[in-house]
Amino acid sequence: MPGISLQMGGAQVTSLDELLALMARRLKRFDAARDNRAAFLCVYRTMTDGVRDKLGTDFFIDGGWIERVAVRFAWWYFDALDRYDRGDRAPPAWAFAFDTARRGRAFLLQDILLGMNAHINNDLPVVVAAILRDEADNTSVPRMTRRRFDHDQINRVLNLVIPEVEHEVARHYGRLVRPLGQLVGTLDQSLSTFGLRSWRNRVWRNAQFLLAADGEAERQRVIHFIETDALGVARDIDRFPVLSWFRPIAPLMRRCRLW
C-alpha cells in the first residue's frame, strides 16, 4: 500500500522520522513557554520513538500499516492543538485536557493521563476505522485479524517504553515523580490502570462500531458516543481520589516542576 502524507503543525509529514522531528520542535516551543501541555507531548514523543524503533524488524506483521496509522493518528493531535489555540471547537476530551493544563491546577500525572485519554479514546477509534475502510481491510476477516495483531503489538511496545517515559518525565517536568509516585503507585502502574491495554481494546471495539454504522446519521451517533465516553474518562481522571486530596498544592508542585 502507498504511504501517507499529511499536513500538520505547519509541516508535511510522511513518516515517523518526520513526525518525531515535528514533535521535537513543538515540544521545544512548549518548554520555552512553560506550557503544561509539554508533559503529554513528551510522553507521546517517547512512545512514538519506541514504535519507530520496531519498524523494519519482525515485530509487526505489517510495519507500513503501523506507520500509516501513527502518522494519521498524530494529525488528530495536532489538529486538536491548532483548533484549541485558534479558539475553535476541539473535541470535548481535548478541550478538557487543554483547559486543565492551561489552568495549571492539576498534577503532572493528571495532565499526562488526560492527554492520553483524549488521544487514545477519542481519536484512535476514528483513525483505525478510517484506515481500515480506506484500505478495504474490513472486507476480509484474515486481513482484519492481521491488523488486530499489529494493533495489539503496540500494547507491548508501550509497556516496554514506560521506564523510559518515566525517566524523561522525571528529568524534565517532575523531579519527585518517582518518590511521590508511591502515593498513587508508580507511573507504570498508573498508566496501566488508566490506559494502554484496556483503552486500546476499547478503541478496536469502537472502530468496529464506526465500520458497522449504516449511513452518516448512525456514524455521527457513534462519534457522539465516543466523544461522550472519552469526556467521562477525563472527568474520572480529574477526580482521581488520592490526587484530589492534595489538589491545593498542585499549582506549587507544577511551578517548581516537582510532580
pLDDT of residue 189: 54
pLDDT over threshold 90, residue 166: no
pLDDT of residue 241: 60
Length of the chain measured in residues: 259
pLDDT over threshold 80, residue 159: yes
On average, the pLDDT of the chain sits at 87
Distance CA 31, CA 28 (A): 5
Mean pLDDT, residues 105-110: 84
**Statement: the pTM of the whole predicted model exceeds 0.75:** yes
**Which band of pLDDT confidence, cut at 50, 70 and 90, is reported for residue 81?**
very high
Residue 244 DSSP symbol:
H
Kindly state the cell numbers that stand for 153: 503489538
**Which band of pLDDT confidence, cut at 50, 70 and 90, is reported for residue 165?**
confident
pLDDT of residue 2: 52
Query: 83 in the Ramachandran plot: left (φ > 0), alpha (ψ -120 to 50) or beta?
Result: alpha
Q: Which residues pair with 234 in a beta bridge?
A: none
Q: What is the chain's alpha carbon radius of gyration, rounded to the nearest angstrom?
A: 18
CA atoms in the 13 A half-sphere facing the CB of 187: 27
Say if CB 116 and CB 191 are below 8 A apart: yes
Instruction: For 12-54, write each residue's pLDDT tens digit.
Output: 999 999 999 999 999 999 999 999 999 999 999 999 999 999 9
Distance CA 188, CA 165 (A): 9
Greater confidence (257 vs 118) lies with 118
Residue 35: other Cβ atoms inside 10 A: 17
pLDDT of residue 108: 85
Which amino acid, residue 255?
A: R
pLDDT over threshold 70, residue 86: yes
Say if CB 152 and CB 162 are below 8 A apart: no
Query: 136 in the Ramachandran plot: left (φ > 0), alpha (ψ -120 to 50) or beta?
Result: left
Say if CB 253 and CB 107 are below 8 A apart: yes
pLDDT of residue 250: 58
The contacts of residue 220 (CB under 8 Å, 6+ apart) are none
CA distances from 170 to 33, 158, 163, 182, 199 (A): 19, 18, 11, 14, 24
